[in-house]
Structure 1
Amino acid sequence: MWAQPSLLTDRLFCGDETHRTLATGVESLLTEIQALRKEAERSKRMLLDACVSIGSIGEALGLDMDADADMMIGTARDLIDGLNRIINECPLGSPGFAIATEVMGELGVQQETQP
């Protein structure tokens, strides 16, 4: 984005108090607009990253990516319940326990406490 020259230093600027106040306000608005554009771009990138991640997880789970979110959430909850069952039924240190806890960690899910 090109740099906006300062209205206050423009040689065509009328230097009376009213125009100076207006120019200062315009400059602060332009600065705020630029900051909002940067934030919007950052938010778009984060949203795109999240969509790609959700798509990857959905494909890995074999979900219908045209399905509604409730169905996908239900499938994810079923997966988490299954992983918790494996963790609770497999002895500590077993391969099943290790794999299930690793997957839960990768998903960023809290594990249920063992009874």
Structure 2
Amino acid sequence: MNKFSTFDEVVAERKRLQEDLNRQKGYLRSEFVEIREKIQPVAKVLSFFARSGNNGQSTAGTLLKAGSNLGIDLLIGQKLRKAGWIARLVLPLVMKFTAHKTIDAVRK
């Protein structure tokens, strides 16, 4: 921490700190804009899948859930071949339930 001997030094330090703060705010704004631009394609895909059908049911949500079920069955089923029967029964169900709740939460 600096020790100041005059009021003018305090004012100059405050001005320097304010300019530094404004520079950092500008940097953060530009970073947020860049991040927003990078995730825009993902947001478009999610918004496509989140659209609901004519009757209020989301066919895209159903497709996402079916895809997650298939992926869980294929990926986890291979990994659990040597596991016990309880793990083979319970783990895929928990993962599917979690995936469905996540898909529902993202769509809202």
> TM-score if structure 1 supplies the norm length?
0.43
Larger fraction in helix: 2
The structure whose RCO (Cα within 8 Å, separation 6+) is larger is 2
